[in-house]
Structure 1
Amino acid sequence: MRWRTTLVAGRSAHYGVGGDGPPVLFLHGWGIADRAFGKALEALTAAGLRVYAPALPGFGGTAELPRTEHSLHGYARWVAAFVAGLELTEPVTLVGYSFGGGVAIRTAHDSPELVRRLILVNSIGGSAWTDGRGALKALAERPLWDWGLHLQVDLLPTRQATRVLPVVLRDLVPNVLRAPGAIWRVAHLARTADLTSELAELNRRRLPVVVVWSKQDNVIPEATLRSLRTSLGDPRTVTVPGGHTWLLAQPARFGEVITNILTFAEDPPGAA
């Protein structure tokens, strides 16, 4: 991956690019930006893909969105402008992780001409959450402290902590220092996101969508996953071991999962 700077809507933006082959656009999650996923992205370039990985507005040195644009719709418009600047000749495979999955859903909904297929990795977008008593509630009712508690559980007590935690902190701390307001505004967007109507529309359009989810995810609960899948009409789902940050802990596995999905998608009907 090579790291570059460009302008999107007249504002500075950082992004990574590498590899040759069909274009893949990767959108990162909350708090950590493009460079933190370097090893995972290089696993894709090694598999013969052309990977673009922008730091979303407010992260990784990319300028924040104007206040009037601070919504998932605004982030999707920014992604569309970024893709337009690449001057690609074909639609992309759009891979969205966590908060980036919500942006990817909205981008595919708002700019269908840009997206060939959608891969959602431990993505926000579902509307449901189960509280500590097992009661099913709207995701917007999930308190911020509960998100933070489960993220801590996801990171700390596992064997992967020595690999993942330094990467998270190395990226998260500078992001907090550069743009603390953006960090909290994006956290609010992620916490309250309900994209069920957009997901249902993507299903109606028959956009190819694959959902990837890790079995020990403590951040995006299973109830949220079920809500997301229901809105999509029960799409193909790939489950992997690990927590929410599994692709940082297992970058080679991430590359294998994504390339297997794309190989399956390109197989002609009846292929083995």
Structure 2
Amino acid sequence: MYESAQFDPAIPTPRAAVLRPTADLRRRRVDVDRSAVEYLVGGHGRPVVFLHGWGVAPATYQGAVRELAQRGARVYAPAMPGFAGTRALPDGERDLDGYARWVGRFIDEVGIRGPVTVVGHSFGGGVAARAAHDLPDHVEEVVLINAVGGAQWSQSGVARPIHERPLWDWMLRLQADALGSRSVGQVVGAVAGTALSNMLRDPMAVWRSGHLARTVDLRPQLAELAERGLPVTLLWGTSDTVIPVESFESMRAALGDPHVVMVSGNHCWPIDDPARFGEAMSRIFARSREAVPA
């Protein structure tokens, strides 16, 4: 049965997800492929890997990551290849398959035991979906937040492949999304600061990952995840114009009967409203616990 839940911030947080005071985030480094990777880590409980969006870094999501760490999770948020000083993927690995394999190596290097929940926003959502597909021994659940991968958009009311969407339209929507945020100064500052640093460090890595984000079609992989019965949640801001509704609907159709949580917000809503993100994730975690046989 398809379940769609409209998140209401007035509903109190479930008792099982009461905020924990011991959720200080720490910056740490680990070597992956003989290269240093900086990551945020904090909290206690189920292991969760959080994957950031295109052009930015874990620090952009510090509030959202802290919320996760306060709600019964041990969160690891790495800077993915090409961002925040992490070396770009080598030739032959610069696709979502390569990013997914890198996520698996990161999980191994930080010493996580047992499968993890992977949570990804935007481009990170595409990587999360691919990792769930390619690494069944590493991933037991995935949450896709306004993720790339649906591969459809609409032009003048006509559905078209998303790779035909002009670059200028993506950039215009990204700018409008950030400027339309509730905390516009905070969001623009967080995104622009890390994006500029990434562009200065490795502009080609940022460009290549942006091309992936704009053109990737993950519907076959999502359909296979559904066949396997892997728990997948689509967590979506209803006012997103960066990832069009046609893309969301094509992902939902590929998954068949996914858990869907809709919240009021645009593409950058986890950065804009970390508390709402934390409460939405609390409900997803609570649902996961209820689904586990006693």
Tell me the TM-score normalised to structure 2 length: 0.89
Question: Can you list the C-alpha shifts for 1:137-194, whole angstroms capped at 9, x where unaligned?
Answer: 0111111111001111111144421221111112111111001111110110001100
Determine the structure 2 residue equivalent to 1:181: 204
Shift of 1:269: 8.2
Alignment of 1:83 with 2:103, yes or no, is no
Residues 181-260 of structure 1: matches in 2 within 5 Å? 181-260=204-283
Match in the other structure for 1:127: 151
| Counterpart in the other structure of 1:35 | 59
C-alpha separation in 2, matches of 1:220 and 1:149: 12
Mapped to 2, the partners of 1:29 and 1:158 lie a distance apart of 16
Aligned to 2:70: 46
Identity of aligned residues (%): 47
Supply the RMSD in Å over aligned alpha carbons.
Answer: 1.5
Query: Take 1:78 and 1:42, find their aligned partners in 2: how far apart are those partners?
Result: 24
Which of 59, 74, 78 is 2:98 aligned to?
74
Kindly tell me: are residues 166 and 8 of structure 1, through their superposed partners in 2, closer, same or farther at Cα, counting changes over 3 Å?
same
C-alpha separation in 1, matches of 2:196 and 2:78: 19
Query: Equivalents in 2 of 1:201, 1:268: separation in Å?
Result: 20
Query: How many residues of Structure 1 are paired with residues of Structure 2 in the alignment?
Result: 270
Gaps of 5+ in 2: 1-24
Instruction: In structure 1, list runs of 5 or more residues that go unmatched.
Output: none
Amino acid at match of 2:77: A
Which runs of 4 or more aligned residues in structure 1 lie more than 4 Å from their structure 2 counterparts after TM superposition? none
Question: One-letter code of the match for 1:110?
Answer: D
State the TM-score, normalized to the length of structure 1: 0.96
Q: Residue type of the partner of 2:53? A: G
Q: How does 1:93-104 map to 2 (within 5 A)?
A: 93-104=117-128
- Preserved CA contact (<8 Å) 2:181 2:268: no
Give the drift of 1:110: 0.7
Question: Which residue in 2 is equivalent to 1:17?
Answer: 41
Output one character per residue of 1:171-228: Cα deviation in whole Å (capped at 9) or x when no partner. Answer: 1111110011111101100011001111111011010011011011010010000000
**Matching residue of 2:87:** 63
Separation in 2, partners of 1:24, 1:159? 27
Cα-to-partner distance string for 1:39-60 (whole Å, 9 max, x where unaligned): 1111111112100000000001
Q: Secondary structure at the match of 1:203?
A: helix
